Amino acid sequence: MRIAVTRLAERAWTPWIGRSALTGVLLCQAWAVCRAVDSGAKPGVNPVELSVGELLRKPSAFRDWDMILSARTEGGYADNVLQSDTFRHGSGFLAVGADLFVVHLPAKGPEFNLFFSGDDRRYFSSVSAGSNQPSATKDQYFITQATMKQVWRDAWTFSFAAQHVYNDQVYDASDLEDGFGSIRTQGNYFNMLPSVRRGFGKSVLLEAAVRGGRQFFRSPISSYWEAGPRLTAGWTPSTNTTLELGLSENRRWYDGRLKTDLAGNRLPGTHLETDDQRVELVWRQTWDSHRWWSTTLRGYFNHRTDDAAGYYDYDRLGAAVSLKFSPPHWVARLSARGSTYDFRRQLVSPFNPVPRTREEAELEARIERQITKQLRAYVRGLHDFARSNVPLDRYRANTALAGIEWDF
């Protein structure tokens, strides 16, 4: 769908991200147009001095832009809104959401794409874990990502991605703060990811990236900075098979979370820092010539250490599998994931001096039917749980919903 992207984006995006993304799009497009105009500019006219309005009036200004926009609405029931083993409350809900993808693919010069996805769920019942806890009346999740990409000599790809995530929902904070389990909070996450990729023939690629981010949480969860490198090696032995091996390291600097001794006693005047080393292997496979059947298998190992006595040290082993069946007009997907935590030094309590344990898993099924070229209907079921010898870590939740989605 090819339209005047800028005018539509100004109306759709202002409530969530203001005009900053729109300004970035205009600047990038103005730069590309000025380069094109420069080779044939009239004497005495500096193309850089052209106004934004003049650029918009040029028929060729947006010839390389395209956009995909979809909207959805859904309703269902969640039997454990607070993700709590103690305060188990269910509620029906209605939700709306939208996805927007804007892409710029010029004949020459850098590629640019802008992605947005947002969902707003409203519960029929207001549920709370106590008189001093905020009520769970809604869940909101919005993600925005802008990426600039430049290919050099057909083998090298340089890219820079900037991302913002906003969430206002019940959050499993057992890994971020002591004594809370799942808690309702708001968060804003800002992330930047410059990377360089090198292809070797048609089947091998190597990518190096450095991530830096800032997470803001509403009290009582501590905000933090994080940064670290990531290396990825990919191999595509055939058109139906892809393998990826990723190695990454990430360091977090918490604003208000304190260091502790081996007994878990907090040390005043300190700030906790943690390091994560992660190894991840991904296998994607298409199983038939029609490309109806496909699977994705992911396994990872995460090793965390803190910069104090090691109270927060753990090893996490996890795996996820997804099976997709997509014949004409249908898409069916079944996925499962799970992980286990091995806390090497943290004990449950002085009265129960055994190592802390935690297991978590999620099962999801989704069936989608294409009704018309622009309209889809779907149903989805989700079951997730966490088991632990720490009571606040435990919960079990089920969600069922049905919805429709339109493409514009």
By CB neighbour count within 10 A (0-12 exposed, 13-18 middle, 19+ buried), where does 269 fall? Answer: exposed
Q: What is the residue-level pLDDT of the chain in tens, covering all 408 positions?
A: 433 333 333 333 333 333 344 344 433 443 443 343 334 433 333 433 344 444 444 555 567 899 999 999 999 999 999 888 888 889 999 999 999 999 999 988 899 999 999 999 999 987 765 545 666 789 999 999 999 999 998 899 999 999 999 999 887 777 777 777 778 889 999 999 999 999 998 899 999 999 999 999 988 899 999 999 999 999 999 999 999 999 999 999 999 999 999 988 999 999 999 999 999 999 999 999 999 999 999 999 999 999 999 999 999 999 999 999 999 999 999 999 999 999 999 999 888 899 999 999 999 999 999 999 999 999 999 999 999 999 888 999 999 999 999 998
Cβ-Cβ contacts under 8 Å for 220 (sequence gap 6 or more): 177, 180, 183
The reported pTM is 0.81
CA-CA distance, 371 to 367, in Å (whole number)? 13
- Out of 3.30.470.20, 3.40.50.720, 3.30.565.10, 2.40.160.50, select the CATH number for domain 153-407: 2.40.160.50
Contacts of 56-64 spanning 24+ positions with Cβ under 8 A: 56/4, 56/6, 58/33, 60/33, 60/36, 61/29, 61/33, 62/2, 62/4, 62/5, 62/6, 62/29, 64/32, 64/104, 64/105, 64/106, 64/107
CA-CA distance, 309 to 261, in Å (whole number)? 5
Spell out the domain ranges in the chain: 153-407
CA-CA distance, 179 to 28, in Å (whole number)? 47
Helix (H) or strand (E) holding 361: strand 352-370
Place of tokens 């010029």: 106
DSSP 61: G
Q: Which residues of 7-46 are buried (b: 16+ CB within 10 A; e: fewer)?
A: eebeeebeeebeeebbeebbebbbebbbebbeeeeeeeee
Q: How far apart are the first and last CA of the chain?
A: 8
CA-CA distance, 80 to 158, in Å (whole number)? 44
